[in-house]
Amino acid sequence: MTASFQAEWPIPVSVAPDKLAEIQAEFSRDWSGVLEQAQRGSLAPPADRRFKAPGWATSSNYLLNAHAYVLSARAMQQMVEAAQLSEPLRDRLRFSVMQWIEAVSPSNFLATNPEAQRLMLETNGQSLKLGVQNLLADLEKGHISQTDESGFELGGNVGISSGQVVFENRLMQVIQYAPLTTQVYKRPLLIVPPCINKFYVLDLQPENSFVRHAVEQGFSVFLVSWRNPLASDTDGIDTATWEDYLQEGVLAAVQVVQDISRHERINALGFCVGGTLLASALALAHARGDHPVESLTLLTTLLDFEETGVLDVFVDETHAQARERQLGHGGLMSGRELATTFSFLRPSELVWNYVVGNYLQGQSPPAFDLLFWNSDGTNLPGPFFTWYFRNTYLENNLKVPGRIKVDGHALDLTALTMPTYLYGSREDHIVPWHAAYASTEILRGPTRFVLGASGHIAGVINPPSKGRRHYWAGQGTSRPGKLPGDPEAWLESATQHAGSWWPDWAEWLATHSGERRRAVAKLGNARHTPIEPAPGRYVKVRAV
């Protein structure tokens, strides 16, 4: 006898009879133990945060339902691990089963959630009424509310670092931030954030702004603010390509910073997709004989897409071709669709947690700046997205010297020999830290790799004033090819440090920033005069 999962799967997925019998026996044994505890009146809620509220212990029926769910979920996960199939298919099955398990939790339904029922009775139905109102409001907005969005205003209490937009074109604006010190380092810093999100994750509020911290350290900071294209735009932005983002985006911003600072070699930092764009643009510049960057910082960035974590379940030729037919010649990849995809990578925390709180219990989520930013998505030009999907996630072409050509020039990331600071987050589910570390095998300059605690965003946005978390780092900067090839071997030899990695980065960057000089009194220059105050109008456009 075998167990099979056949819905929507190209081939039957089976579990060996002996392994299936073992899983069934374990389930039966543990369920019998649950029933015995229930009969003795000693049954406690399972060790799952969803069942910790007092209401779950008020009735044996609720407890039995919770335990049945937990044991069934475990058995399904065991069957996935025991299934006789390839690892790529197992990953997809694991992801699909995880989605189903999270969706059917008894905590997600009014009829099986005692806490929601208790609130409904105690409030004479007001909690349910408020929940329905929350649901209708979210349906109108098109997304689940994860925070009180009314508590924030972009340019009012988030994204408020002082500066001016000093350049703009159809793809981006360049912001120059006002100095906060009387003297600044001579060599400026250009920050390239991801175009898949809005830049102000790096400039939330003064106490957790990476931008403000850099300015406070005496760095002259410029930043790219990517445009959020809309279906109503008529200037052809929906046909923008990867090449356009390199030339009209990153390299155009580099030229602006060079011109304003009067430095031919600047420092540059890229975050996530912004780092991939930045490294690619610099490879293009090098292929043309230009070397505009003195030092490079890459935060949670993929250059080698061999290991992409849970996102790999979405990557195959069929999906790539479907997107190319849909968007390859124009159109927009919806920010709403992108946001939904990322939320369902962690459905317990970013979906069902809010379904229960907002709709079943009628609660309003508290104001949280990071989640306000998370709900403020961006659209992407279709040709850009389809090129990126195929050449990175599907075919991993960027890391292969010469495989990609832009404007007739072959890109070679191994040609980048400037000093580099690489940062990865240990619990990152979007850019697994082993994948971030893989850039040490591609880039050829002196490299410092630093590993922070927490995830993709929380690991990066970790201001020193909070005194939170920790990071791992080696001694100094490693010469080319001297870092261990195995990331785990690197971690074994690294030293753990308490607190934020930001001071470590600032100390490293200072060594590549030249002497200090008097800070400028006016932003921009005669060629690039201020257009509007930061954060600028591009970032304020909401995706629809």
Q: Catalytic site residues? A: 272
Q: How many CB atoms lie within 10 A of CB 232?
A: 6
Q: What is the DSSP letter of 361?
A: S
Q: How many CB atoms lie within 10 A of CB 131?
A: 23
Q: CA-CA distance, 455 to 435, in Å (whole number)? A: 14
DSSP-derived secondary structure for 72-110: HHHHHHHHHHHB-S-HHHHHHHHHHHHHHHHHT-GGGSG
Q: CA-CA distance, 320 to 328, in Å (whole number)? A: 10
* Tokens found for residue 446: 């002196």
* Tokens found for residue 39: 């009969």
Instruction: Enumerate residues 6+ apart whose C-beta is below 8 A from 306.
Output: 396, 435, 438
- With 0-12 / 13-18 / 19 or more C-beta atoms within 10 angstroms meaning exposed / middle / buried, residue 507 is exposed
Give the residue among 272, 226, 299, 235 at the shortest CA–CA distance from 539: 226
Q: CA-CA distance, 396 to 512, in Å (whole number)? A: 31
Q: Are 454 and 427 in contact (CB under 8 A)?
A: yes
* Tokens found for residue 454: 């927490």
> Dihedral sign, CA of 374, 377, 381, 385?
positive
Q: CA-CA distance, 508 to 297, in Å (whole number)? A: 10
